[in-house]
Structure 1
Amino acid sequence: MKKTLALLLIILLFSNCEDNDDNLSMVDVAFEFSHTWENDEINANNLTSIVVTNENGEVMNIARIRYLISRIELTNENGTTYSFNGYKFTDLSDVSTYNFTPDNNRIPSGNYTLKFVWGFNEEDNIDGEYLDLNSASWNWPTMLGGGYHFLQFDGQYNINTSPSSFNFHNGTARVSTNPNVFEQNFAEIEFATTIEISNNASIEVVMDFSEFFKTPHTWDLNVLDTPLMPNYNAQKMMQANVQSVFSIGTITQ
């Protein structure tokens, strides 16, 4: 009798597992990045013509914006994390780089939170490792720690009075007191917003570039315009300010 009951329990257990698997709805996810300066959209059509004003009052135009993120992942309510391969290199002058569909983009439907790395973390930021980034002249100088840029944002400021150039470039931080010591300067971007995914979905991530110049550090381009790559304090300020740049936009499904 005991053996019969045990056998029945095993059968029921496997039956329940099969039912759960059958009810599991798998969906495809993709990511769409849009770009703004406060409430104004920035795209390939207006990138070099839009005029903006930063928190410190400098009137600016834009010549180029390129950036990189990596290690995109979604975590569900049970704590299971789905990591997506590859990295996303975006050039705002090229609309084909705005969207990102990972090769391994199939996940169960459910509620998720989003996380990714701004730039490359220490494990991934390997000097000369990525042929496409090398071809894009995305390398960070070896004397400044090597690896790759996280951001190139170039233009002019005080354009209505006395125009001056700025090169807002972000990457590894070389310690000013010891030029042979380098700090990994990436940031982990985590969103508290819960994303409900019930069908194939496109998740919009909005970047507000004005935040690079105001939160938490108000940026004075008259003091910090160029060169910023070897400037340790400037690099750490960029690392802090990037935390407020991103937000979750529309979920299309």
Structure 2
Amino acid sequence: MKKIAITLFAAVALMACDKDDDNETVTPNVAIDINFSQNFDGTEVTSADFNSLDYTVEHGEMISFSRMRYLITDITFTNADGVSTIVDEYNFVDVGAGMGASIENISLPAGTYTVSARFGFTEEKNTTNAYNDLNAASWNVPEPMGGGYHYMQLEGQYINDIGVTTGYAYHTISAAQDAMTPNVTREDTSIPFSANNIVISNDNDTVDIKMNIAEWFKPWNLNERDGMLMGNYQAQLDMETNGQTVFTIE
């Protein structure tokens, strides 16, 4: 769908040799894959699990999923010497369409890394209509709600307090102050996350970025907030708070 550009922010030493010795020591590179997956408190969720009211959120509602799309950016590997390698493009995950489940064949020297990433775009990169593939995916945020792009679209159904099955749309964007007015402004609510001591070797050539969907609803009352959230400034701030514990890197 898009090209992954890898930018090295510092030189990575691939070969060390003694000028007085013809012997060379080569640090091998490893081709790694980054895999993106979803779970509900440890139970894997794929498109095969959509449209089943099999999940119970903290507040007690039973919910299902029918759409699950999200954006991860700024994936960075930093080695013990402080050398950073950035996958300097976003990864758009569309679970229902089977898109964005992995980034493959990233070449890195074997070693131990800190791996960091971000949920959503920073404000600097969240530019309206800047990304053609995201435009084609209808990932834009309307200008009256601040413009730019979504961070996530999570949709499905839930059984409400009176026993009626109804829909919800849990959409995260940059928090919009004064939405639907000429004075609308945006606040960056993207979420950085990281993990230390990630070992890259021929025996360990994958990195897993996992989203625990249940954490988005801790706490959350769908009976009070099941839609119209994009223009709700406080709701976006609360979703940012919930999102601090959603993602793990392994």
TM-score interval w.r.t. the shorter chain? 0.7 to 0.9
TM-score of the pair, normalised by structure 2: 0.84
How far apart, in 1, do the equivalents of 2:152 and 2:201 lie?
34
Tell me what 1:48 maps to. Answer: 51
**Residues 54-65 of structure 1 correspond to what in structure 2 (within 5 A)?**
54-65=57-68
Of 134-143 and 157-166, deviating more is 157-166
Runs of 4 or more, structure 1, over 6 Å off, are 16-20
Tell me what 1:3 maps to. Answer: none
Tell me what 1:130 maps to. Answer: 131
Tell me what 1:66 maps to. Answer: 69
- 8 Å contact 2:32–2:205 — kept in the other structure? yes
Code of the aligned partner of 1:43: T
Tell me what 1:118 maps to. Answer: 119
**How far is the alpha carbon of 1:14 from its aligned partner?**
5.7
Tell me what 1:4 maps to. Answer: none
How far apart, in 2, do the equivalents of 1:229 and 1:16 lie?
65
How far apart, in 1, do the equivalents of 2:42 and 2:154 lie?
19
How far apart, in 1, do the equivalents of 2:26 and 2:129 lie?
46
How far apart, in 2, do the equivalents of 1:231 and 1:114 lie?
32
Say which one has the larger Rg. 1
Aligned residues: 230
Code of the aligned partner of 1:136: A
Percent identity, aligned pairs only? 33
Structure 2: segments with no counterpart, 5+ residues:
1-16
- Indicate how the Cα distance of structure 1 residues 149 and 26 shifts in structure 2: closer, same or farther if over 3 A, else same: same
Code of the aligned partner of 1:172: S
- 8 Å contact 1:89–1:97 — kept in the other structure? yes
How far apart, in 2, do the equivalents of 1:60 and 1:17 lie?
66
Aligned to 2:85, which of 82, 85, 93? 82
Tell me what 1:221 maps to. Answer: 222
**How far is the alpha carbon of 1:176 from its aligned partner?**
4.4
Tell me what 1:245 maps to. Answer: 246
Code of the aligned partner of 1:163: T
**Which is richer in strand?**
2
Tell me what 1:15 maps to. Answer: 19
Tell me what 2:8 maps to. Answer: none
Structure 1 residue matching 2:47: 3-state secondary structure = coil
How far apart, in 2, do the equivalents of 1:53 and 1:176 lie?
33
**Which is richer in helix?**
1
- Indicate how the Cα distance of structure 1 residues 176 and 19 shifts in structure 2: closer, same or farther if over 3 A, else same: farther
**How far is the alpha carbon of 1:19 from its aligned partner?**
6.3
- Indicate how the Cα distance of structure 1 residues 16 and 54 shifts in structure 2: closer, same or farther if over 3 A, else same: farther
Tell me what 1:166 maps to. Answer: 168
How far apart, in 1, do the equivalents of 2:135 and 2:114 lie?
32
Code of the aligned partner of 2:67: R
RMSD over aligned CA atoms reads 2.3
Structure 2 residue matching 1:240: 3-state secondary structure = helix
Deviations 1:196-248 (A, max 9, x none): 1122711112211000111xxx1011111110000011101111211211123
Of 130-139 and 169-178, deviating more is 169-178
